[in-house]
Every structure is written in C-alpha cells, then in structure tokens.
Structure 1
Amino acid sequence: MADPNLLTARHDSIFTITFNREAKMNAMTASFLADLKAALASVRFDDRVSVVVLKATGKAFTTGYDLDGSDWILSQNPIALKGKLNLDRDREDIKGLLEYWWTLWKFPKPLIAQVQGLCLSGGGELIAMCDLVVAADTARFGHPAGRDLGIPPTVFLWPLLIGLRKAREFLYTGRLFSAAEAERLGLVNQVVPLDQLDATVEALAADVARTPANNLAILKQATGRFYENMGLFASGDQAAELDAVFHQSETFVSFFAKVAEDGVQAALSERRKRFG
C-alpha cells in the first residue's frame, strides 16, 4: 500500500496534520486535497480540539499542485489534452477549487501553518487560508508558475496581505523570496531557526488554545469579515475567471505539450531556460 498523503495526531487540544508526500515535495493532488478536507472535517465539531497545526515532512512544506497528471486536481488533465482545455469547463473547475479554499477560510478553529522549506504556488493559497504562519529561516515562498501557467484564484490574498506593489512584483517576476522578507512584509507571523520550529509552533498553539474555543471562533469570524466586506469572495470569483483565460495562453499550452511529450522535468528545464 502507498503511504498516506497525511498523518494526523492529537495532543491535548492541538490537532496536527502532517503532509506525508516527502518524495513528491508534498505536491498537492486531488486525493491530497480530499484527505485534507476530510481531516479538518473530522475535528470541526470536536470540542476536544481548539487549534489545528499544518506541517510537513521533508524539505518542502509544499511545492504547489502536482504536475505529473496522475491525480490531477481538476477534471481536465492538461497533460492528456496537451494544454488545450475547454474554457467553460476549466472556468467551472477553477471556481470549484476556489470554493475548496474558502471552506478552509471559513473553518471555525484557528489554523497554524508550520513552514520549514519551500512553499510555492498552490502552497501560497494554503497558507493564505491559515490564521497564523510560523516559518523556519530555511523557508522560501513564491509563485514561479505566474510567468506561464496561471494565477491562483485566491491570488494568495497577496494584495491584501503584502500590498499591491509587492504582489505585482512577485507575480510579474516569479522570483522566490525568503522567510525574512515574508516576515517583513507581513506574510508570516514569525521566523525562527529550523531547529526551533517545532517547539515554537507547539508553544504558540498551546497559547492560542488557552482561549476558549467558542471565543476563538468569534474572533476569527470578526477579523475575517473585514476582508469579506471588502469584496474578498467577489475578487476570488473574478480571479478564477482570469485564471481560466490564462490557461488558454500559448505558454500554458506549450508547457503541457512539452510535459506530454518529454515529461515534467523536461518542461521545467525548458521553463528555466526561458525565464531563469
């Protein structure tokens, strides 16, 4: 049997979900996302759990969505179709993915992301849905796929979290940025040495859990409403539409045509030659 996508454990009032696809850099597949949703649902109404921690095995928190096509996150597999997607169907798929992320946004218990390494592309959507983020000084963030493959429908909440200028810079250039820069910009709450990451998150989660769970739910809802009232959900819908249009671009089609012909690594190598 294959290793499970996730490992779960509860200690006192802290529920920990550990991403367990180390060999694949914890890249997210359809089954991975389903398992994460199920793990969260299992404690949604559990009064014994006050806080959920998301962490990962290996050197990467997650490199984003898995590109090998064997467990694709949407109904159309761009590898099989050599990148030529039906626009209307793709639009509906992306809106469905967006709704998935909003279920995490609305999850009533605080989510704390523990980021030890690479957190790229779809991983940025994941931490955007978390209440708090603690990163090791070895962590790096970014969306290299922004040059050629599309935008995430949440746009990582970057325009709200780090501002318009930096959001555009990171999307236009696809460059990765350090944990220190992420902390300076307000994308993460705290950066610590890697060997202190576990202890720091454990202490933070325990401190948050001292607040009664019902009060935490109210505090989370109250702060989230400021973003919702500014048009968060409507902006996500519009970004989903634009992502579907992006998927009609020459760069998207040529990338997945290359994957179909020569494999993911060959396509990534060609991308590096083109964009650096």
Structure 2
Amino acid sequence: MALSNNVIGAINFVAMLLSIPIIGTGIWLATEPDNSCVKLLQWPVIILGILFLVVAIAGFVGAFWRIPWLLICYLIAMLVLIILLAALVVFIYMVTIRGSGHLEPSRSYLEYHLDDYSGWLRRRVRSPFKWERIRTCLSSTNMCAELNQSYSMAQDFFNAHITPLQSGCCKPPTQCGYTFVNPTYWISPINNAADMDCLNWNNDQTQLCFNCDSCKAGLLANLKKEWRRADIILLITLIALVAVYLIGCCAFRNAKTEDLFRKYKQGYT
C-alpha cells in the first residue's frame, strides 16, 4: 500500500508540473497585444491550468497522507478537467481551421478578408460595441508607428513581411489603389469605391484602417496563428495528462487491491 501511495504521489507531482504549461500558455496569450485587446482565450486557459494545479495538489495530499476519499475526488475531478481540456483543444482547432492571407501583385505581405474566417470568430469582432473597445485598444499600440520607423521607401515597404494586424489596420487594402507616401499615409485615388474599406481609410494616425473589415480580418489572422501555437502546447500537455491519469488509476487500483489483500490476510491470522 505504501509503495502504491508513493507512486500515486509521484504521479500527482508530475500532474502538478503539467499544469505549468497550461498556465504559461494562458499568460503568454495575455501578453500578446491582440489577445490582450480581445480577451477571449487567455483567461479560460489560465483558470483551467490553475484548476489542474489545485486538483493535482489535492491528489498529492491524498496520497501522502493516505486519504482514500480525497484520492477518489482527485480521480473524478481530474477526469472532468481532462475532458474540458480536450474540448478546449478541439474547439480551438475548429474555430481556427479556416482563414488565410491572399497574395497581391508586387507585394510580399498578404491581404486578409473577414469572410474567410469562422463564423464564431467573426461574431467576436462584428459587433460595433465590441469592436469599438478592441479598436481603441489596438490603436493605442505602436505597431503602425513601427512601420514608419522601418520603411521610408515604397519598394522596401512592398517587399516587407509585415504582420497580419499591420497589413489590415495600418494601411489601406492594396485593391484600393492608394499611392504610397509612407506606410501610414497614402494618397487617395480618384475612384476609391471598390470596397467599403477604401472609403473607411483615413490618414489620421489615430484612425487609419482600424474601422476596416481588413483590420478585423488581420486581427483574426493574428489570433489564428497564436491560438494554433497555444493549441499545440495544450494538445501535448493533454496527451501527457491522459497518460499520467491512466497510470494513476492503475496505481490507485493496485493500492486498493493491496489493501484488501492485506485485510484478507489479517482475517486469517
């Protein structure tokens, strides 16, 4: 029994360590400017990681002090959390399966279209109330000012590999036919009615294309890239947690078997 409890304690310690990548992933998302403005995924991930940590500590305590009911609660709670983590991994994959950038002639950066992305993500940015808050947050960053500091010549800018957010929010869409002055200041063509984003472009450095659908699409493209990275980490952690959980179940069953066998032997002595 003592050996099995030691094994269970060691397994729970590993589960405690595995909560760190989950919490770390949530914290990383929270530090990214786009995710900090949208505030969709980071807190669920952080909270789930903390719950894994708390449950693993409870299991460790139950094994160390040999508290069977606490170990049973640990096994049930850990199973529920693993199911929740698996659901989150699948959800992130499903909402990020669609959407990619589009090449334009004589441009190295990509253009982004809002309709390319999943309906769930689009609903997060299409509400005027939600977008106003996100727009204000994005426009307060220096991502567009960085372009002016890095590129002064048109060809250098056209050959640049800028982020989806910068492509969608800091310049007008290429199809509008604006003339480059600097990355955030463009001369309007005679006819710019090809798309509503062409009309929404504003050379005011606080406006730019932050009211454009291309900006919303660029945001979703950035989120997709970061969420996919987070999903890979969560998937690897999930696989490790499932393995740890199965080993823990076997160890707990062996401990109960040893306990019953010990009591059986005592009954005949």
TM-score, reference length from structure 2: 0.24
- Name the larger-Rg structure: 2
Higher share of residues assigned strand? 1
TM-score, reference length from structure 1: 0.24
Structure with larger RCO (C-alpha < 8 A, sep 6+): 2
